[in-house]
Amino acid sequence: MASRRAFVSSVLGASAALPAFRSDALRRAIKASGRGGGGPDDESYWGEIQRAFDSDRTMVNLNNGGVCPTPTHVLEAMIRDLRFSNELPVNHMWSVLEPRIESVRRELARDFGCDPEEMAITRNASEANETMIFGLDLKRGDEVISTNQNYPRMLTSWDQRARREGIVLKQISFKVPPPSPEYLVEQFRAAITPRTRVIEVTHITNLTGQIMPVRQLVEMARPLGIEVMVDGAHAYAHFPFAHADLGCDYYGTSLHKWLLAPVGTGFLYVRKDKQKSLWPLMAAPKEMDENVRKYEEIGTHPAANHNAIAAALAFHRSIGAERKIARLRYLRDRWAKRLLATSDRVWIPTQLDTPYSGAIALVSVAGLDPVKLYSWLLGTHRIQTVAIVHPEFSGLRITPNVFTTLDDVDLFADKVGEAIKKGLPAA
């Protein structure tokens, strides 16, 4: 107890010393973690977390996969730095704030479980992933395996290399839900030829929320000399894992998704001994060949955004990765299991009750067009979802986050239940 009090007062003392820093959120997270256990159904704990955000509650936001709000105190830290930068950018931004990126690097590396010299800060997953995709030397005829469920921008990037340089992109298909992790590895293995150089895999898909067996893929591909690039846009800070659980050489993620850092933040991990052979997207001098900062040579950019990652990471760690995923799965199951029990027309190709899914789930209702259902929920009830229409499956993608309330997911389940019973009104 004494040590907890000492910790609380030292954290509050530090934040109180910061100019114009609204420390409510941190204070709430600390207070909340002290009572009620903070379990997945501890509404007093999660109520405090919800109030750390200035959410627009006139809308039920169940599209928290693409981009997310940052807690108010993180936003304010960023705004404070933006104002300070603007007073004298050449000095305040370049000399005072920019060097602080090194603490962000250190903290992200600590959380991801790598050496800081393997961690580059990017503006999003696209920048990190495109560094991997365009950075590797490949020759005409070299083959890349991805799936037809990889993120479209990454597929477009490979396709541009195919059009420009004559590499070959193979997009494999896999069943949703897949029968087993071994089945998934087997689909990749079956597409390998002597010309295969790279596998690009999504750590968790943005379509059904399938967590892919990255480690098994790396173990299968590495002895064959095949590079595995991991698109972790939706994975980092969503469910607990560290680099050692994956063993991959390259990993890219966004931080404005599940870490809840400000918009325009991401990271790229490149194993130390791979840095020499992976070119940066924007040119860097030869002396930086083996320096992970070569991936940050992007020209003038705000220091405020990437420095605010440190505050978002502290907020994330104050909740704890295990506690967070338990809550996210609780929210997901609350709507998903209820809808499954409502009607046998409901199909959820996300692997509930397994370690292979998190907050993201897809729901499909036989006889209900997902695009029309999406429009009705949004237009009539102000419930934001995403309609997914893939050549092999379709449905609504639902993603709660830590600021989602039980009322939010209940309203969604009520309204879909209503549509199942009565159908959708004619347009």
Q: How many CB atoms lie within 10 A of CB 86?
A: 12
Nearer to ligand PLP by C-beta: 23 or 206?
Answer: 206
Question: For the chain, how big is the Rg over CA atoms in Å?
Answer: 22
Nearer to ligand PLP by C-beta: 52 or 68?
Answer: 68
Which two structure tokens, joined as six digits, stand for 97? 């704030």
Question: Nearest distance from residue 145's CB to ligand PLP, in Å?
Answer: 16
Which segment (118-126, 162-170, 176-184, 350-358) binds ligand PLP by CB under 6 A?
118-126
Question: Nearest distance from residue 7's CB to ligand PLP, in Å?
Answer: 34
Which two structure tokens, joined as six digits, stand for 15? 């934040």
Residue numbers 178-237 binding ligand PLP by CB under 6 A: 202, 206, 231, 233-234
d(CA 199, CA 210): 17
Nearer to ligand PLP by C-beta: 316 or 323?
Answer: 316
Question: Nearest distance from residue 1's CB to ligand PLP, in Å?
Answer: 42
Residue numbers 348-367 binding ligand PLP by CB under 6 A: none
Nearer to ligand PLP by C-beta: 61 or 202?
Answer: 202
- Does residue number 122 form part of the binding site for ligand PLP (CB under 6 A)? no
Exactly one of 157, 254, 385, 401 binds ligand PLP (CB under 6 A); which one? 254
Exactly one of 70, 126, 385, 401 binds ligand PLP (CB under 6 A); which one? 126
Question: Nearest distance from residue 125's CB to ligand PLP, in Å?
Answer: 4
Nearer to ligand PLP by C-beta: 384 or 405?
Answer: 384
The alpha carbon of residue 114 and the mean position of all alpha carbons in its chain are separated, in whole angstroms, by 18
Residue numbers 290-349 binding ligand PLP by CB under 6 A: none
Question: Nearest distance from residue 157's CB to ligand PLP, in Å?
Answer: 10
- Does residue number 267 form part of the binding site for ligand PLP (CB under 6 A)? no
Question: Nearest distance from residue 206's CB to ligand PLP, in Å?
Answer: 3
Which segment (8-16, 119-127, 240-248, 351-359) binds ligand PLP by CB under 6 A?
119-127
The alpha carbon of residue 230 and the mean position of all alpha carbons in its chain are separated, in whole angstroms, by 12
Question: Nearest distance from residue 158's CB to ligand PLP, in Å?
Answer: 13
Question: Nearest distance from residue 176's CB to ligand PLP, in Å?
Answer: 15
In the numeric block, the tokens 């040579």 are attached to: 297
Site map 143..162 versus ligand PLP, x via CB under 6 A: --------x-x---------
Nearer to ligand PLP by C-beta: 323 or 332?
Answer: 332
In the numeric block, the tokens 């150089």 are attached to: 197
Which segment (124-132, 137-145, 164-172, 327-335) binds ligand PLP by CB under 6 A?
124-132
Question: Nearest distance from residue 62's CB to ligand PLP, in Å?
Answer: 15
Question: Nearest distance from residue 154's CB to ligand PLP, in Å?
Answer: 6
Number of residues this chain uses to bind ligand PLP (CB under 6 A): 12
Q: How many CB atoms lie within 10 A of CB 147?
A: 22
Question: Nearest distance from residue 254's CB to ligand PLP, in Å?
Answer: 4
d(CA 281, CA 294): 9
Q: Would you mind telling me the total number of residues written for the chain in this entry? A: 427
Residue numbers 20-79 binding ligand PLP by CB under 6 A: 66
Q: What are phi and psi of 138, to 5 degrees?
A: -135, 150
- Does residue number 125 form part of the binding site for ligand PLP (CB under 6 A)? yes
Angle between helices 370-381 and 406-422 (to 10 degrees): 120
Cα dist from 173 to 20, 177, 350, 351, 390, whole Å:
52, 12, 16, 17, 11
What contacts 158, CB < 8 A, 6 or more positions away? 133, 144, 146, 167, 169, 200
Nearer to ligand PLP by C-beta: 233 or 336?
Answer: 233
Q: Which residues bind ligand PLP (CB under 6 A)?
A: 66, 124-126, 151, 153, 202, 206, 231, 233-234, 254
